Amino acid sequence: MESYKVIDGAESFFIRGNEVGVLVSHGFIGTPQSMKYVGEELAKKGYTVYGLRLKGHGTHYEDLEQATYEDWKQDFLNAYNHLKESCKYIFIVGQSMGGTLTLRTASEVKDIEGIMLINPAISVIPSMESYRQRFEPRYVPEGKPDIKENNVHEITYEQAPLKSIQQLLSLMDETKIRLSRVSCPTLLLTSTIDNVVPPENSTYILNHVRAGHKRQVFLENSYHVASMDYDKDKIVTECITFITQELAKRSCLRAQ
């Protein structure tokens, strides 16, 4: 149970559309606000879009401290099942830790048409590695969100609980060893300059998932929170193209 109210603007969102469902997820200490533009643009194409809010996010960092990565995994499964109630086809778009959770979910749930990963974390986050075995400080100061475009406000926390950083690292470790179980089509959207999650994370994923169709697109004018940066429209376009192509393949298979 969370002890604090959800911050205005950080709420989850659900936009009902057709039988194609798209789950969109924010990253560590972020909120659905960071994915709302992408989600709304996808909804304009007629898709049903669900922007989930992960437990402990968008309220207060003390709530985050009480959440575990098992909670976040369950949040994803609940969101998937919610979309599945009204949608025949499910795609997932995940940014940063949202990308990690997307991979973890895809390694377990096989009825996913495709996944789109924006600067996903899997192998290394340099600024966090030194905290793996530490017991203090209780809270770690967070810098300004890594966004190239000026005057963009992301709703986030000014500090992150040490326990929560360690939960993220554990989630990455668990997901990393399960990448060979990810077989659905995969699109990687990778910022060439990312000051939080280096591009090598995406390279590792590209080399280790078993997807028959996997592709990487580089975002040359955005930093880590690319869904709110200069390349946000490129992300939307690439996601729509990916979804359209995968649905077309399915239609062709049915017609044979």
Of the residues 224, 227, 229, 231, only one is catalytic, namely 224
Cβ proximity of 124 and 204 under 8 Å? no
**Which residue of the set 25, 34, 96, 227 is catalytic?**
96
Tell me, yes or no, if 86 is annotated catalytic: no
- For residues 188 and 168, what is the distance between their CA atoms, to the nearest angstrom? 20
131-to-13, 17, 128, 197 alpha-carbon distances in Å: 33, 43, 6, 16
Token pair for 107: 């390694």
Q: What count of other Cβ atoms lies within 10 Å of the Cβ of residue 132? A: 11
Residue among 63, 75, 146, 194 flagged as catalytic: 194
Buried b (16+ CB within 10 A) or exposed e, 74-110: ebbeebbeebbeebebbbbbbbbbbbbbbbbbbbebe
What is the DSSP code (8-state) at residue 209? -
Active-site residue flag, 224: yes
Give the number of other Cβ atoms within 10 Å of residue 243's Cβ.
23
Strand-pair category, 159-161 with 139-141 = antiparallel
Which residues participate in catalysis according to the annotation? 96, 194, 224
